[in-house]
Amino acid sequence: MRTHDRLRIAIQKSGRIGDPARELLARAGFAFRQGQDKLFCRGESLPFDLLLVRDDDIPGLIEEGSADLGIVGLNLVEERRMETEPDRLRVRMPLGFGRCRLAIALPDLAEWRGPETLEGRRIATSYPVTLARWLQAEKVSAEVVQLSGSVEIAPRLGKADAICDLVSTGATLAANQLREAATVLESEAVLVGPEPPFTDGRADLAALLERRLQGALGLRATRLLLCQAPRDALPAILGLLGDAEPPTVTRIEGRDDAVSLQALCRSAMTWQRLEDIKRAGASGLLVLPVEQMLA
Ligand code: ATP
Ligand code: MG
């Protein structure tokens, strides 16, 4: 029996979710020491450890209690959740990376008239439970052909008439002469834990982890904008800052007609946005990254 004074987080060993997950944990201030077996990493200063596994195994590890929390694509969580009654997994927090969609795709030349096009057809997928639910909701009866990989070549092999697979840019579909027709599920990486949630010492640890992750995610796009501007241009400039926290406006020694402005901007500070601010009258614009913040 494990004690509940440390929290074990399962993440993908490497790949689309695992690499950004480790980066996010590092940005949130967690450091780990890799064990001999390359499967377990012990937290260096905080009571959080990592279990490095295949992403498919993460929902099951949490259900059976071998891991306390996991970082995994919502697609895998949903596929698993729909199989178990009652629910044994809880999505605790979206993490904003690993975005993709589980989508229906057809051969380029096939006609699409909405979901009913799939009536009586064979659809290849690695997500049979999610697909079956979607078909049921769309009142379509089709044959679900379960494949564990290379789903996109099934139509060419004559094994299926359509596929239901993960898509992000669509490049893989295009390379296989397939075209996206409908979205079954929108997905991104999530922090997942057991349902019902912890009632022991792990509840406080999970809350600490979530606060740290929120902080790291919130800081990603946050920038500090510094500039000068004529007083009468202020309303227009403040209008362009939109999501900024209330800015600090200070006087400039020896100039009564202009002020210095300092604003914390939460969403991406693009060149376009900067040029708009300059056009509104600002000068000497400086955009600085924010490394740490304690509100
Ligand atoms: P393993 O099972 O060995 O851990 P994998 O091949 O299943 O690796 P990846 O290809 O790294 O894993 O994908 C993991 C997750 O990344 C998917 O479950 C999904 O949530 C997300 N993802 C984001 N974009 C895509 C995409 N274009 N194709 C596939 N998965 C994607
Ligand atoms: Mg996998």
pLDDT, residue 246, reads 86
Extended beta strands in the chain, E state: 7-12, 32-34, 40-43, 48-53, 69-73, 89-94, 100-107, 122-125, 143-146, 162-167, 178-187, 189-194, 223-230, 248-252, 255-265, 283-289
Ligand 1 near 100 CB (within 6 A): yes
CA 39 to centroid of ligand 1, rounded, Å: 19
Determine the average pLDDT of the residues in 39-56: 96
Ligand nearest to the CA of 71: 1
Nearest CA to ligand 1 atom 1: 54
Render pLDDT for 208-260 as a digit per residue (tens, 0 to 9).
999 999 989 987 778 999 999 999 999 999 988 877 788 999 999 999 999 99
Ion ligand 2, residue ranges at CB < 5 A: 55-56
Residue 244 has a pLDDT of: 75
pLDDT of residue 243: 74
CB atoms within 10 A of CB 247: 16
Rounded distance from Cα 102 to ligand 2 centre (Å): 14
Q: What is the pLDDT of residue 218?
A: 82
CB of 54 within 6 A of ligand 1: the answer is yes
Task: Work out the pLDDT band at 38, boundaries 50, 70, 90.
Answer: confident
The token pair at 288 is: 């600085």
Distance 105 CA to ligand 1 centre (A): 18
**Mean of all residue pLDDT scores within the chain:** 94
Report the nearest-CA residue for atom 4 of ligand 1: 54
How many A from CA of 12 to the centre of ligand 2? 8
The closest residue, in CA terms, to atom 7 on ligand 1 is 55
Which pLDDT does position 1 carry in this prediction? 60
Residue 92 makes CB contacts below 8 A (sequence gap 6+) with 69, 190, 191, 192, 193, 197, 206, 210
- Pocket-testing residue among 11, 12, 55, ligand 1, by greatest number of atoms within 8 A of Cβ: 55
In ligand 1, the atom with minimum distance to the C-alpha of 14 is: 4
pLDDT in tens, 120-162: 999 999 999 999 999 999 999 999 999 999 999 999 999 999 9
Strands 32-34 and 40-43: antiparallel
Residue nearest to atom 14 of ligand 1 (CA): 16
Average pLDDT over residues 261-270: 87
| Probe residue for ligand 1, chosen from 52, 126, 166, 188 as the CB with the greatest number of ligand atoms within 8 Å | 166
pLDDT value, residue 267: 78
- The neighbour count for residue 286, using CB atoms within 10 Å, is 10
